Amino acid sequence: MTWRSNTAISAVPPVRPAVSPAGANLVPTRIPGVLIIEPRIFGDQRGFFFEAYQAARYAEYGISRPFVQDNISHSARGTLRGLHLQYPSCQGKLVTVLRGRVLDVAVDIRIGSPTFGRHVAVELSEANRRQMWVPRGFAHGFLVLSETADFFYKCDEFYRPSDEIALRWDDPAFQIKWGIETPILSAKDAAAPTLADMQGLPIYGKC
């Protein structure tokens, strides 16, 4: 699978994907721990096949905690879900798109992190089959670019509503180029605070 640069990938360097022994393209980003994974796809006249997750192989990438919950969301064009995280019950997410196309974003908000406030943005779609690993302590969100999108999350911690945190999607501190001025938001996301107004954020190395 060929790596294609995209102006929306504001924090991903133009690096050549490394081919793992298992055959997937592993694309490092400018934030250590945030990964883009391009599964090896086998296709013929019948369709295609690929491994969306294999525990031993993903452990080689540093994704070693067991997954305990899978989630699927369906959203219309222009919907923006985020920016969300859990704390103190931190949650890592392996995310991908089953149908449609989204701009997916991970933001490092770990207090004391060398990359605090920086983000990775990448397009995920049913065409490129990319996955993004969003480590614990990162805020996550996505914008739907297609008519609709089905978004799939594998989580390494259970969803705990009492620990959910929302941050403002267009906070100038993050400098995310969403490419939209008035997305469709939930009431909670529309009222989310900025990073400067937020207390009780994850601590680097302790999430």
Asked if 119 is an active-site residue, the reply is no
Question: How many C-beta atoms lie closer than 10 Å to residue 184's C-beta?
Answer: 16
Q: Which strand (E) or helix (H) includes residue 165?
A: strand 164-166
Residues 53, 87, 153, 204: which is the catalytic one? 153
Active site annotation includes 53: no
94 exposure class (CB count in 10 Å sphere: 0-12, 13-18, 19+): buried
- Please state the separation of Cα 59 from the chain's center in Å: 18
The C-alpha angle 16, 22, 25, rounded to 5 degrees, equals 20
Active-site residue, from 58, 84, 87, 119: 84
What does the alpha-carbon distance between residue 97 and residue 95 come to, in Å, rounded to a whole number? 7
What positions carry a catalytic annotation?
84, 153
